[in-house]
A and B are shown apart, each in its own frame.
Chain A
Amino acid sequence: MIAEFGLVALWLAAALAGLQLLAGFLAARDGGSATAEGLALLVRPAAVVQALLCIASFLTLIYLFAVTDLSVKLVATSSHSDKPMIFKIAGAWGQHEGSMLLWVTVMAASGGLIALIERRLPERTMLATLAAQAFVGLGFYAFLLFSSNPFERLNPAPAEGAGLNPLLQDIGLAFHPPTLYFGYVGLSVAFSFVVGALLTRQVTPEFARVMRPWVLGAWIFLTIGITAGSYWAYYELGWGGWWFWDPVENASLMPWLAATALLHSASVLAARDALRAWTVMLGVVAFSMSMVGTFLVRSGILTSVHAFAVDPERGSFILALLTLYIGGALVLFALRANTVAEGERFSIMSREGALVINNVALSAILGIVLLGTLYPLLTEAFDVRVSVGPPYFNPVGAIFFLPMLAVLAVGPLLRWRKDSFARIKLPVAIVGAVFVAVLVLVLALADIGILPLLGLALSVAVAIASFQPMMGRSLRRLPLAVWGMVIAHFGVAVALFGMASDTAFQQERLVAANVGDVVEVGSWEARLDAVTPVSGPNWTAIEARMKLSYDGGAEREARPQARSFWSPPQETSEVALLTRWNGQLYVAIGNQAQDGRWQLRLWWKPFVTFIWYGGLLIALGGVLALIGRVATDVRRRVAAGKIAQRKAEEAS
């Protein structure tokens, strides 16, 4: 019964989405007529009730997983009564069907939220936006109900569930995917606003202000998702790499790049009524990229690390949705291009000018990542197989990334509309001097590649530059949004510093060691004290007991393991990480050589942790900016309410 309740709620929600689409579209089209007014009244409640139904449906699924109702196929195939409760619950979105339901639920909840509170835009635009939101939602409802029903029953119910893969019982694994989904959903909301604004020809600063929190929120989640994913790959893969330009990684990077560009261009539109067409374009592109990413990962058409059973049928469905949404939006945009009048003009030597360069560079990097990721797919159609990897992405991306950073250092100092170089000569000179000083210093002290060299120098320069917008301003009265910008830009510098430093100065030691041997790597001395077998609930492992000291300092212990799981049979490397303020020592143990010695792999990775600290700082900056923006909105709304109230009182 419970499962059926969830399914019925989902069907009702889908029906309401249909109603929302029709009523919203008709009301927005023939605004003013009596029928249209009547229909318009339906739209917001439909969105709100739809959200409630979806939430009910999703809670139902969580309940089914919590009680391990094995008569439900999804529970039987992916859960197990012996799992800890937290993983039972996380299991609800741990597979395709459940994750799609989560996606739809978050999307419906967002739709319900804007229907409930968003009153700043012209009502026609809101109706069109909600209709667009329902249109996107309907595709996902169809996907769920027709090809991925999470509530399907299994008759007879099995005695026990099949999903007790302990490898997947990882708290990071449980919460990493929803993080990315929240990002994708935020971008879908931005997309709906764009379509609504296009349909009603209302690409205005107000539209940008309304859309911005959603983009910011999406961007925060994407940032956290990518940062966490990178760290996870780093400690789980056992070879010290943190970014591989693998298609699946690129699929998560592309929406982030587009969202970053969109965030900045929306700021220009909100503040200065410029870059209207850019903002619309980026709104479409950002959502496209999240759909393309989902498609690439789920369909398995790219050679990724996919020994995994991907499903071409799901791929076809996502591709159909992709074509419908993106194709539709692009055609609409092309038809409406002349109505998106060019916004205000500005000098290149202005805040807008810098942001345009930022936008163009981010879009170019996005284009290159997309090209490099999809190119093997293109040549495969002609039976030629090629690989595109770091030697391509790093330098070609850097062509656009490094100049963009230079602009990032200067841009926030510029005034809107028009500024003169003379005014910001001093701070620019300081940053330039720092850049040159670091460059010369590193050149003199170390022999490293050109990209890490430029990266190091730029990161230090940008780190200093990122705080310059605060100079001469009262810190107490500085808006939160500015704090957010400063911290996010500083985070970029921090992450870049970590990347460049690890690339340039990482030290590697691969050795076959006897018990008692001492291995040196960087300033570390590592002594292998013992190698012992250990075992867990479903694995056995050999564990190295090591004592390590940095530069003759206090001894620390490390216990890397080489684990063998038996069901399913898999071997993994559990690395030991010793973190210091200036880097991390990465220790992995491999097999035993024939002469009885053990393969040890050690890396000293200077400042590698800065990569993820930087990512978190970027996200923190986003959070501050979001709080600042929302607080301002709320204050404005309260003030407007008071004024309206006073007027009403005066009138009466």
Chain B
Amino acid sequence: MSRIVVVTSGKGGVGKTTTSAAFATGLAMRGYKTAVIDFDVGLRNLDLIMGCERRVVYDFVNVINGEASLKQALIRDKRTENLYILPASQTRDKDALTKEGVGQIISDLCADGFDFVVCDSPAGIERGAHMAMYFADDAVVVTNPEVSSVRDSDRILGLLQSKTQKAEQGEIVREHLLITRYSPDRVQAGEMLGMEDILEILAVPLIGVIPESQSVLQASNSGTPVILDKESDAGKAYDDFVRRFLGETVPHRFLEVEKKGFLKRLFG
């Protein structure tokens, strides 16, 4: 039985693709056969974040149109076993994503023995975002501690509760809140919405908090999912998030201000 998980947010630039790459890699590392699909037709980027941009031959839309088989289009990850990437098309427009086409690909992946299908949603609430969430069993809603991101997340939660297959069948999509780019020192200074504030506003169970970290940019520079950087706070926080998603009880880390030495406090 496969689980379909959409990574979504409404707002752009909050870390959907970074999260999708880290999440899919984390699941595969634990032995689950995982596919990660880029739904951002026309603005594909998952391939760059996963470091497989030069290996893209066929894409999502080619498979929907019957121009390539799913097997031909899936890129097997070179670093992580059990991990496959289905890149978005860079040239077609978003109308190429039909409900029937997307549904067929997802059911083929399920039949092929995939344990998890991670759908990396584009920003916005248009067709690409709708198709990414339509077949989902679970949704990871990525939110920054910032007003426009929180508002857009609430909007997306409304769509998850009304515009998905599960909603149409009277069931619910399981929602998980992932807060990214969190700075405990700014929260303490009263400059940033705290984790509790966001939870109070959105009322969705928290699955993880990823601290603001320079390692995220470094990981994307090199095309390595940040979860593979086991030394970094962001990498560790993503690993915790994957374990929680799989049902483990893992305490939240990186929520408190780091204790600094006297010199560091003086010169920042």
A complexed with B: no
